[in-house]
Amino acid sequence: SQTIHQWPATLVQPVGSPLSLECTVEGTSNPNLYWYRQAAGRGLQLLFYSVGIGQISSEVPQNLSASRPQDRQFILSSKKLLLSDSGFYLCASHGSSGGETQYFGPGTRLLVL
Amino acid sequence: AQSVSQHNHHVILSEAASLELGCNYSYGGTVNLFWYVQYPGQHLQLLLKYFSGDPLVKGIKGFEAEFIKSKFSFNLRKPSVQWSDTAEYFCAVNTGFQKLVFGTGTRLLVSP
């Protein structure tokens, strides 16, 4: 089965600072990769997905961007964080070896002050 | 746009009580439906899924869900809950490219 690593686990950042969250996947190749966010009191919202290296689709307009420099690496970034960027960020993978199931990472809790 | 509604945000039950968590979706096409669970301190993990066939699907740990197409529903059930079922439960719909649309989640607390 797939294993997804995310770091850091928790992050506190000031408004206006940059952000870089990393996600790496083991146990599959050429997966579809996803970034979700869960804000307080809301469900999981899909932010970005990628079907391959360098291919990023954005689901909602926002202050964030994503990149996929390697097959099993997915990065979430921001140049200047906003208070509204606070939330719980989850990386997910759906690969050829995983059937129809998405696997989720442990998540990163981001607090922007 | 597709959406998923979970009507119960917080549920508190005693052990051995029966559980039913509601999930309704809005999507006119063919759907794949999922229930995910997040136990305290653990990753989000798949509980069960429906793609086609028998609308009553069974998952791990004694959970089951019934897909009722006419009602656009996919409710989660368990006849007798345990303290270890305390978790947050998410209903989700697959809208293509395995892009999941999630409900807001239901926090279940089972008291011993």
Residue A95: name the closest of A65, A71, A75 by CA.
A71
d(CA A78, CA A59): 16
**Using the beta-carbon criterion (under 8 Å), do B100 and A44 form an inter-chain contact?**
yes
**For A8-53, how does the pLDDT look when each residue is reduced to its tens digit (9 = 90+)?**
999 999 999 999 999 999 988 889 999 999 877 677 899 999 999 9
Residue B23: name the closest of B53, B62, B49, B60 by CA.
B49
**CA atoms A65, A45, B93, B65: torsion sign:** positive
DSSP state of A59: S
**Using the beta-carbon criterion (under 8 Å), do A46 and B4 form an inter-chain contact?**
no
pLDDT value of residue A96? 55
Q: Which of B100, B104, B106, B107 to mutate to test the interface with A (most CBs of A within 10 A)?
A: B100
Give the pair of three-digit tokens for residue B57: 């699907």
Q: Where are the beta strands (DSSP E) in chain B?
A: 3-5, 10-14, 19-21, 24-26, 32-38, 44-50, 56-58, 64-68, 73-78, 87-94, 100-102, 106-111
**Using the beta-carbon criterion (under 8 Å), do B98 and A32 form an inter-chain contact?**
yes
The residues with which A104 forms a beta bridge, in sequence order, are A92
**For A64-83, how does the pLDDT look when each residue is reduced to its tens digit (9 = 90+)?**
999 999 999 999 999 999 99
**For B50-88, how does the pLDDT look when each residue is reduced to its tens digit (9 = 90+)?**
988 999 999 999 999 999 999 999 999 999 999 999 999
